[in-house]
Amino acid sequence: MSAIVEKKAGDTLPPVTLPPVTRLDLIKYAGASGDYNPIHTIDDEAEKAGLPGIIAHGMWTMGNLAKLFTPYYEEGFIETYQIRFRGMVFLDDVISLQANVSEQQEDKITFDVSAKNQKDEDVIKGKVVFSLD
Amino acid sequence: MFEDAIGNLSNKVKNTVERGAVRKFADAIGDAHPIFVDEEAGKTSRYGRNIAPPTFPRVFDYGEIAGLELPNKGLIHGEQIYHYERPLLVGEDIHCWTEVKDYKEKAGKSGTMGILSLEGKGEDQGGNLVFRAEQVVIITEAVRRGMEA
């Protein structure tokens, strides 16, 4: 793992592919976050809401994506983390997390970040500004 | 339906960045890194303590806003932004509150949707802002009808 400070526009952070999404993942996230909206854990409630099945919390995916940056906290921290929720994540989906440097300044590095499903569709997309302060 | 709530603030609520809650949260997002969960690693880090993952403010209580009673079902999370002055430190108290920044209604294919923008803030014991959390919530036609019924 090379230092984040050496990253230049066009460079990427090592991508991560998550294991297929399980019901237990979402139950654990509900408990840890306090978001008990039943469309994330109970089939009947998801169907009543017009969904084909339970869907992951958008914040679960956003939380996972941030881990690309966790190894670099000795160099700085995430100053801005901006996400648009673009698509739903279903059980058994395989999510890939990516971060590419879009801009490098003296004290900040800006990344385009995304989480894509197995069909290469963006489920979340946004940017991270990593402060080297 | 929430136009009148624009500018309304919640009461401030004291939250603690609890070690156990951070551990549970980091585990739930598959990111139980020593900087979050190992006390020794926290002590020897540049922060001198463990820190919390950037999406951890999801667990905080931001108080109640007068005139804004949202249903607990059917809301769609459209956008989320966190801005940090510094990371959250495990063990510290953070005072949180939230404000209705904007509300608009827009006609779409599946009816009228409400677009609600909220901004949460967290400050430390010294009154210094630690983070801002902006959130855009979509309220669909079906949910709006359910609330009016």
pLDDT value for B149:
60
Contacts of A64 in chain B (CB under 8 A): 29-31
Which whole number is the average pLDDT over B73-98? 94
CA closest to B134 among chain A residues: A82
| Per-residue pLDDT at A1 | 62
Question: Which positions in chain B touch A71 (Cβ < 8 Å)?
Answer: 33
A60 reaches B (C-beta below 8 A): yes
Neighbours of A126 (CB within 10 A): 22
Contact of A54 with A91, CB cutoff 8 Å: yes
Contact between B94 and B15 under an 8 Å Cβ cutoff? The reply is yes
Establish if A103 belongs to a structural domain: yes
DSSP letter for each residue of B3-41:
GGGTT-BBPPEEEE--HHHHHHHHHHTT---HHHH-HHH
DSSP class of residue A126 equals: E
pLDDT, tens digit (0-9, with 9 covering 90-100), for A43-75: 999 998 889 999 999 999 999 999 999 999 999
pLDDT of residue A87: 96
CATH number at residue A23: 3.10.129.10
Q: From edge to edge, which strands make up the β-sheet containing A108-116?
A: A16-17, A96-104, A108-116, A122-131, A77-85, B75-84, B129-139, B111-123, B93-108, B13-16
Looking at residue B110, what is its pLDDT?
76
Selected residue of B22, B36, B82 to mutate for chain A interface (largest A Cβ count, 10 A) = B82
pLDDT recorded at residue B67 = 84
Domain-embedded: residue A32: yes
Using one digit for the tens of pLDDT, what is the confidence trace for B126-142?
A: 999 999 999 999 998 87
CA-to-CA distance for B22 and B37, rounded, in angstroms? 7
Q: Is A71 on the interface with B (CB under 8 A)?
A: yes
Could you report the per-residue pLDDT of B4-50, keeping only the tens digit for each?
Answer: 999 999 999 999 999 999 999 999 999 999 999 999 999 999 999 99
Q: How many domains does one find in chain A?
A: 1
> Can you give the pTM of this predicted structure?
0.95
Q: Which residues pair with A97 in a beta bridge?
A: A16, A115
- Give chain A's residues under pLDDT 50: none
List of domains in chain B = 3-17+61-148 (3.10.129.10)
Q: In this predicted model, which residue has the larger pLDDT, A1 or B112?
A: B112
Tens-place pLDDT, residues B39-72:
999 999 999 999 999 999 999 999 999 888 887 6
Domain that holds residue A25: 9-132
